[in-house]
Amino acid sequence: MADNLLESVEPYVTQLREEGWCVLENAIPADVVDEVREEVETSEADYNEFRKEHGVWERNVISFMPKFAVHLANERLLATLQQLLGPQVRISQTEYKIRPPHYELVRAYHSDFPYDLNQKWHITQPFPTAVIGITTLWMLSEFTTENGGTWIVPKSHVDLRNPRGKEDNIGDRNPLDGEMQAIGSAGSVLIMDSRIWHSNAENPSDGKRTAVVVRYAPWWLNLELFGANTATIPGETFDQLPDDVKLLYEHRAENREPTVWI
């Protein structure tokens, strides 16, 4: 990795290690973010329709958003992730996170895969001190405190308790000490150690808060999750991805011989 790239991501790496989160600006350039947002907003309905007809196993959501997909190996983002996860990373999960106008929600604090204690495929407490998952929320509309910027609790990645820990008496629906909302302009990425306690926020505004969550994992983590995220990408769709993005999704490619990982 080039020294100047490493140097440029050092502040993000340090903040992730110490605080458990950071925001990387301009991961999607300003001149294309509107069309990416439009693709994501319109394709969610297509995906839901497809899934109703064919079931969740049939097609991975990333197949529905090719204009978004090309950004997922962003150089500064990957350089940051690789400092924490090691040089070989893969994408474990991709999901639409569009909050409609006037969306109401009581907080629902949790950590993400593989630390989400409400999911079957989680590791048990006390969590090891290693970073084994990074959650990224791609802001396709601006995130503000008025439209549902994600609630986070800085430094909670090193707290051995968990809002969903049965013995921890935290209460995942409660406001928590130190909580704050992550904000940023469209095209930014909220990067979180997946252990960080975080939650949806209400969106009292008149506009959608549009995002996609993409979770990254080290190569050695078992990603056979028995759910929508294990669905495959059709071979012809996979062929259209840039090579550096193929690397992140090759484990989901249908009818394609693995080339990258052998």
Ligand X SMILES: O=C(O)CCC(=O)C(=O)O
Provide the binding-site residues for ligand X, judged by CB under 6 A.
Answer: 97, 112, 137, 150, 198-200, 211, 213
Q: Which one, 131 or 253, has the nearer CB to ligand X? A: 131
Closest distance of CB 122 from ligand X, Å = 13
- Determine if the peptide bond prior to 154 is cis (ω within 30°): no
Closest distance of CB 137 from ligand X, Å = 6
As a whole number of angstroms, the distance between CA 126 and CA 161 comes to 8
Closest distance of CB 106 from ligand X, Å = 13
Residue nearest to ligand X (CB): 150
Closest distance of CB 211 from ligand X, Å = 6
CA angle in degrees (0–180, nearest 5) for 129-199-142: 110
As a whole number of angstroms, the distance between CA 162 and CA 195 comes to 9
Q: Which one, 73 or 192, has the nearer CB to ligand X? A: 192
CA angle in degrees (0–180, nearest 5) for 248-194-200: 110
Closest distance of CB 51 from ligand X, Å = 18
The region that residue 192 occupies, defined by phi over 0 for left and psi between -120 and 50 for alpha, beta otherwise, is beta
The region that residue 148 occupies, defined by phi over 0 for left and psi between -120 and 50 for alpha, beta otherwise, is left
Q: Which one, 195 or 246, has the nearer CB to ligand X? A: 195
Q: Which one, 157 or 198, has the nearer CB to ligand X? A: 198
Measured CA to CA in angstroms, residue 254 lies from 90, 91, 136, 137 at distances of 16, 16, 25, 26
Closest distance of CB 185 from ligand X, Å = 16
Q: Which one, 12 or 109, has the nearer CB to ligand X? A: 109
Q: Which one, 84 or 152, has the nearer CB to ligand X? A: 152
Closest distance of CB 234 from ligand X, Å = 25
Question: Which residue has tokens 């350089």?
Answer: 79
Closest distance of CB 158 from ligand X, Å = 19
Cβ count within 10 A of residue 187: 24
Q: Which one, 200 or 232, has the nearer CB to ligand X? A: 200
Q: Which one, 163 or 218, has the nearer CB to ligand X? A: 163
Residues 6+ apart with CB under 8 A from 243: none
Question: What would the DSSP string read from start to end of 165-191?
Answer: -TTT---TTS--TT-EE--B-TT-EEE
As a whole number of angstroms, the distance between CA 37 and CA 61 comes to 15
